[in-house]
Amino acid sequence: MSARMTALESLTRTTSLDQLQTPAKSGGCASSSCGSPSQPNDVNSAAWEKIKDHPCYSEEAHHYFARMHVAVAPACNIQCHYCNRKFDCANESRPGVVSEKLTPDQALRKVIAVANEVPQLSVLGIAGPGDACYDWRKTKATCERVAKEIPDIKLCISTNGLALAEHVDELAEMNVDHVTITINMIDPEIGAKIYPWIFHDHRRYTGIEAARILHKRQMLGLEMLTERGILTKINSVMIPGVNDEHLIEVNKWVKERGAFLHNVMPLISDPAHGTHYGLTGQRGPRAIELKALRNRLEGGAKLMRHCRQCRADAVGLLGEDRGQEFTLDQVPGEITYDASKRETYRDVVARERGDYITAKNDAIGMIKDAGSGGSLLVAVATKGGGRINEHFGHAKEFQVYEASAMGIKFVEHRKVEQYCLGGWGEETTLERVLAVLEGIDILLCAKIGDCPKHQLTEAGLRATDAFGYDYIETAISTLYAAEFGAEPLPTRA
């Protein structure tokens, strides 16, 4: 298996086409995956075609594909209590934050530069820092220019929904297949606590009247997108004491109107960000509160659990942000698109992921068949490809999976400060990592030093690199079998 791993990894590193292809060929087809099912069990084929390369719409795709956002739409028609529009910062990572705003032409250059360098790139998103539908001329110009140069890139926009309905037809014409609407309420009384004002029809509305208009426009926009077969993701910000319970109702409403995914995100309200909520002491939810709410929503509109709440100018795989490598001053004034890296990468992924999905389905089937009542919470250090392929000390986040009678499910990711920067770990950092890993039974990584391993063991957390470079689900099923006395899967490949 590690030979094939090299194939995928080297694709994202090397530069010449020859180098890319040699390891790719040697990967071969080691398992039953040729021509076999290449889609997860829980989505239908038409939707799978649309989401299979979209890292946000498909948890499975996020192991392989990357998105980039271009900050071309800074104007907004709403004020939200969790947003401070005066805030620009290079080091912060959260929605709405950017370090440079771009014109559509600058955006095009940047997209080409990234497409040439980052073979995983599959999606271009426009997510503010304002509203993509309100700042429409720039959004449209950017989408059109990029689609002309890179026809296979997926276009994706984020909006608060207020100005969405008037652009739905153009979105459909432009082949925008994915639209995210932030919907935090369906009850205007609650909306009035989140939105101080909106700008609509050439005037400012406040209070309940504002929230009522916003609600109507959001529902209309969502219904229109559903009618046209455009996939929608609903983002909701969980604000404890304001809309936390209410989101259960929101989930029902958006499901009825055809929303494809519901992404419930925690409020970020650090006072240093200067938002209304930050300054008035409104707290964000604790991780367990978020998890509990998500569990209660299970069975409604399908949930997204792997969102990273990215910056409005993020670049790369979801768990990483390479935005700082592609600031405008690093992008050449004249640049032409070179499709070779992306194409080669896609070929290899097509083969590799078929193998992964088969392995994953086998592993999940095994656990379900085992019929044991036990459950395990497993943290995984990974940098993509569905494999345990990140060193403990290099991990910036751990992906958390739950193995139970229901199978193996991705439940969340947990961010950590890197334990080891340049080989030296600090004691206090390890303590913080331990705090982040609270409740985890087993940690899987590609490599871990004896010292941190020992300290983790002392803290009651088993960490192992015995499954380094294996598929995540395969490793988890083996552990599960050992733990609860089930029959492990026969060794593959």
Residues near ligand SF4, by CB under 6 A: 56, 67, 125, 307-310, 318
Cβ proximity to ligand SF4, 125 vs 407, nearer residue: 125
Smallest gap, in angstroms, from Cβ of residue 461 to ligand SF4?
Answer: 27
Binding partner selected for residue 148 from ligand SF4, other proteins, none, CB under the kind-specific 5 to 8 Å limit: none
Cβ proximity to ligand SF4, 67 vs 217, nearer residue: 67
Smallest gap, in angstroms, from Cβ of residue 67 to ligand SF4?
Answer: 5
Cβ proximity to other proteins, 84 vs 464, nearer residue: 84
For 397: left if phi > 0, alpha if psi spans -120 to 50, otherwise beta; the answer is beta
What's phi and psi for 447, nearest 5 deg? -160, 145
Cβ proximity to other proteins, 136 vs 471, nearer residue: 136
CA angle, residues 18, 19, 20, in degrees to nearest 5: 90
Smallest gap, in angstroms, from Cβ of residue 49 to ligand SF4?
Answer: 19
Smallest gap, in angstroms, from Cβ of residue 182 to ligand SF4?
Answer: 11
Binding partner selected for residue 307 from ligand SF4, other proteins, none, CB under the kind-specific 5 to 8 Å limit: ligand SF4
Q: What stretch of H or E contains 204? A: strand 203-206
Amino acid residing at 407: G
Smallest gap, in angstroms, from Cβ of residue 101 to other proteins?
Answer: 7
Binding partner selected for residue 104 from ligand SF4, other proteins, none, CB under the kind-specific 5 to 8 Å limit: none
Amino acid residing at 149: E
Binding partner selected for residue 309 from ligand SF4, other proteins, none, CB under the kind-specific 5 to 8 Å limit: ligand SF4
Sign of CA pseudo-dihedral 128, 130, 133, 135: negative
Cβ proximity to ligand SF4, 310 vs 456, nearer residue: 310
- Give residues in contact with other proteins (CB under 8 A): 74-77, 79, 85-86, 101, 129-130, 134-135, 137, 199, 202-204
Cβ proximity to ligand SF4, 201 vs 427, nearer residue: 201
340 CB contacts (<8 Å, ≥6 apart)? 17, 20
Binding partner selected for residue 76 from ligand SF4, other proteins, none, CB under the kind-specific 5 to 8 Å limit: other proteins
266 CB contacts (<8 Å, ≥6 apart)? 237, 238, 284, 285, 287, 290, 309
Smallest gap, in angstroms, from Cβ of residue 135 to other proteins?
Answer: 7
Smallest gap, in angstroms, from Cβ of residue 218 to other proteins?
Answer: 19
Smallest gap, in angstroms, from Cβ of residue 261 to ligand SF4?
Answer: 9
Neighbour count for residue 482 (Cβ, 10 Å):
10
Smallest gap, in angstroms, from Cβ of residue 20 to ligand SF4?
Answer: 26
Cβ proximity to ligand SF4, 19 vs 84, nearer residue: 84
Instruction: Measure CA 96 to chain center.
Output: 16
Binding partner selected for residue 77 from ligand SF4, other proteins, none, CB under the kind-specific 5 to 8 Å limit: other proteins
DSSP string, 334-372: S-----HHHHHHHHHHHHHHHHHHHHHHHHHHHHHHH--
Smallest gap, in angstroms, from Cβ of residue 374 to ligand SF4?
Answer: 31
**In angstroms, rounded to a whole number, what is the distance separating the alpha carbons of residues 80 and 193?**
9
Q: What stretch of H or E contains 478? A: helix 472-484
**In angstroms, rounded to a whole number, what is the distance separating the alpha carbons of residues 331 and 25?**
32
Binding partner selected for residue 318 from ligand SF4, other proteins, none, CB under the kind-specific 5 to 8 Å limit: ligand SF4
Q: What stretch of H or E contains 4? A: helix 2-11
For 385: left if phi > 0, alpha if psi spans -120 to 50, otherwise beta; the answer is left
Binding partner selected for residue 203 from other proteins, ligand SF4, none, CB under the kind-specific 5 to 8 Å limit: other proteins
Tokens coding 487: 């029959």
Cβ proximity to ligand SF4, 198 vs 348, nearer residue: 198
Cβ proximity to other proteins, 204 vs 415, nearer residue: 204
Binding partner selected for residue 135 from other proteins, ligand SF4, none, CB under the kind-specific 5 to 8 Å limit: other proteins
Binding partner selected for residue 310 from other proteins, ligand SF4, none, CB under the kind-specific 5 to 8 Å limit: ligand SF4
214 CB contacts (<8 Å, ≥6 apart)? 78, 160, 161, 162, 191, 195, 198
